[in-house]
Amino acid sequence: MMLGVASRAGCAQDIDLHGIVQAGLVRTPGELGAADGGYGKLGQGGAGTRVQPEFVTGLIEATADLPWNLAALVDLQYGPKQKSPVDLTTAALHWQPAAQGAWRWSGKLGAFFPPFGLENRDIGWSSPWTLTPSALASWVGEELRAIGSEATVAWTGGDDSVALTAAVYGWNDPAGAVLAARGWDLGRQPIGLFDHVRLPNGPTPQYTPEFKEIDDTPGWYAGLTWQNAALGHLQLYRYDNQADPRADRHGVYAWRTRFWDAGYSQGFGPFYVILEGITGDTRISPEGNGPFVTDFHSAYLLGGWTRNEWRSAVRLEQFGIRGFAAEHGRSVTATLNYQPRDWLRLSAEVVVVDATSRARATAGLPARAIETEPQLGLQLSF
């Protein structure tokens, strides 16, 4: 069962607090999960199949309206498997002046999620549709964060809106290390800005920091979005962290990670569709050796339906890696949500992942694993 709590309270002039807590009753698959140093693809995986309660996350979000068309957003997350019990996931200033005719501008400064993972649009970068994030969204939350600035200029005419977004950021040079070492997984909550990620089991637990500047070269992403009231939202982005694959700092190596992200979303009466895919590569050349290249791709199709207090979703996805952790896999997720009150959401979900991985075989495990994870969830909002 997943438990979630969200709250609202006015704390001072133009300041709001929101919160979310999630926990659950989960039947874990038999594979040891990635958070515990294993090769399991699901977030709640264990060393054996069992039914157990899980506290997933707690989050408080603070927003404040400031002078000069500024607003502040800070997300504090609590998680039992974090390096620190409480950590920041987002801390940013947003700027959005009044529109000038058909044109409008906006900007961000600080640490925030890049615009990938279209299913994750709720508080704390969570999903309103499923308990388990897709492989694409799980990786974005685990390895990517823009720590820098982002600017958007948009034009609106009739039913159409077109926007150009560009960002410059740093402190994300290790991004790609987890994909190269372990491959994709599903169900990870976003990590905090001061957290680290567990790598697959070795003689002793090993971790990699994600938000670290190594070569003193900023990365960037840029993209176009088009919105039409009848046809939906379409986006195309290019991401490149510009890391020097030969660089290291205090034993942490830089990974040159770049990819394309394309997505589409639209509602049709009670139905909703999200389609998103990512393809790219990450490379490293320690001490001038290599380069060692890992190609990756992932795509998902989510179909949702909403009626009164009920919301359901089915998500199909496919993912793959070419490199040391070469793998190919697919998954299906089915979720039913019941929200009788604004502050209460009950969920039931089943996820099935079928993946074959060279990294598993290298570790002495069967190359192919089929994992099933049913769970019940409760979310409270305040």
pLDDT tens by residue, 342-381: 999 999 999 999 999 999 999 899 999 999 999 999 999 9
Distance CA 44, CA 33 (A): 6
- For the domain made up of 9-381, give the CATH fold: Porin (2.40.160)
Query: Which tens digit of pLDDT belongs to each residue from 81-123?
Result: 888 899 999 999 999 999 999 999 999 999 999 999 999 999 9
DSSP state of 360: H
Q: For residue range 255-265, what is the model confidence (pLDDT) as tens digits?
A: 999 999 999 99
Task: For residues 44 and 34, give the distance between their C-alpha atoms in angstroms, rounded to a whole number.
Answer: 9
pLDDT of residue 203: 66
Integer distance in angstroms from the first to the last C-alpha of the chain? 19
Q: What is the pLDDT of residue 246?
A: 94
The pair phi, psi for residue 283, each rounded to 5°, is -145, 155
CB 235 within 8 Å of CB 225: yes
Helix (H) or strand (E) holding 258: strand 256-268
Q: For residue 310, what is the enclosing H or E element?
A: strand 310-322
Q: Quick one: pLDDT band at residue 6, thresholds 50, 70, 90?
A: very low
Looking at the predicted structure, is the pLDDT value of residue 66 above 60?
yes
Residue with tokens 């840029």: 222
Nearest residue to 77 (alpha-carbon basis) of 58, 54, 90: 58
Q: What is the mean pLDDT of residues 155-161?
A: 94
- The rounded distance, in Å, linking the Cα atoms of 373 and 334 is 11
Going by pLDDT thresholds of 50, 70 and 90, the confidence category of residue 178 is: very high
Encoded tokens for 216? 């003193």
User: pLDDT: is 15 or 284 the higher one?
Assistant: 284
The counts of H helices and E strands in the chain are 3, 21
pLDDT in tens, 288-311: 888 999 999 999 999 999 999 999
**In sequence order, what are the beta bridge partners of 324?**
none
pTM: 0.93
Are 88 and 60 within 8 A, CB to CB? no
Residues 6+ apart with CB under 8 A from 180: 255, 282, 284, 292, 294, 323, 324, 325
- Neighbouring-strand partners of residue 169: 148, 219
Specify the pLDDT at position 48: 64
How does pLDDT run across 7-40, given as a tens digit for each residue?
Answer: 444 444 578 999 999 998 998 887 888 888 888 8
- Look at residue 207 and give its three-state secondary structure: strand
Q: How many residues does the chain have?
A: 382
pLDDT at 10: 42
Q: Cα–Cα distance between 342 and 111 in angstroms, integer? A: 29
